Amino acid sequence: MSKKKNNTNHIDYSSDKQAKIKEILRLLEKHYSDATTELKYKNPFELLIATILAAQCTDRQVNKVTPELFRKYPSPAEMAVLKPEELEKEIYSCGFYKTKSRNIIETCKILLSKYGGEVPRDMKSLTSLPGVGRKTANVVLSNAFGEDAIAVDTHVFRVSNRLGLANAKDVFKTEQQLMKNIPKNKWSKAHHWLIYHGRRVCNAKKPDCENCFLQHLCKYRNEGQVLEQSESIQ
Ligand code: SF4
């Protein structure tokens, strides 16, 4: 494969997609080597509940709520018997508290009746739980069980499509394309790198392109508009 020289990085990334992706990943890793989930949890159950609560909410806000929540209700057995109104009071500040409350209680009942009170560790079982979509399932599989997975949340969707790591209108296609473009052993880490970049530099409304270490590689920066998110993400 020919690699033309230029003044800044000696490789013409515009004509070598694989080299470009490799360089994007290298720089993301260099800048965010310590990136990890910001949600606080002690076991798969706590991560599952925290991730359900994090939909349309910040991790920081979820972290304010969950220590007391898990102290009072440490397992599915304690949470499953709550009335929705009781749980609503505990999680009110995370938003969408009525839906989240119903989903969490129902999820806990299913964990008890079908999975012996444990969180299942496969995509199909996880996504059968109320309030659990592919994003939440991938977060649990990756962080709680150490599986290779790319959870596509709003940051991952936006940043990966802006950078050109994906070119898709929906999260499922974005996930599939990222799995194809990123080496499997980097899937879980890349998820965290993209979130960190989305929070710190590549904001939704005002990306700080001037100060972005990926600007010379970025499709959005160099070619203009990219596809925007077309659905909410669970
Ligand atoms: S150059 Fe701009 S749009 Fe591209 S990744 Fe950086 S901040 Fe985001």
Q: Which domains does the chain have, with CATH numbers?
A: 13-31+150-223 (1.10.1670.10), 44-144 (1.10.340.30)
pLDDT tens-digit readout, 37-94: 999 999 999 999 999 999 999 999 999 999 999 999 999 999 999 999 999 999 999 9
Give the model's confidence band at 3: pLDDT under 50 very low, under 70 low, under 90 confident, else very high.
Answer: very low
* Section 4-16 average pLDDT: 57
164 lines ligand 1 (CB under 6 A): no
Q: Is the pLDDT of residue 6 over 60?
A: no
* Section 189-200 average pLDDT: 96
Name the residue among 97, 55, 95 with its Cα closest to residue 234. 55
Residue nearest to atom 4 of ligand 1 (CA): 218
Distance 198 CA to ligand 1 centre (A): 9
218 lines ligand 1 (CB under 6 A): yes
Q: Is the pLDDT of residue 7 over 60?
A: no
Amino acid at the residue 81: V
Structural tokens at position 143? 């962080």
- Ligand 1 nearest-atom number relative to CA 215: 1
27 lines ligand 1 (CB under 6 A): no
> Which residues are known catalytic residues?
135, 153
pLDDT tens-digit readout, 17-40: 889 999 999 999 999 999 999 999
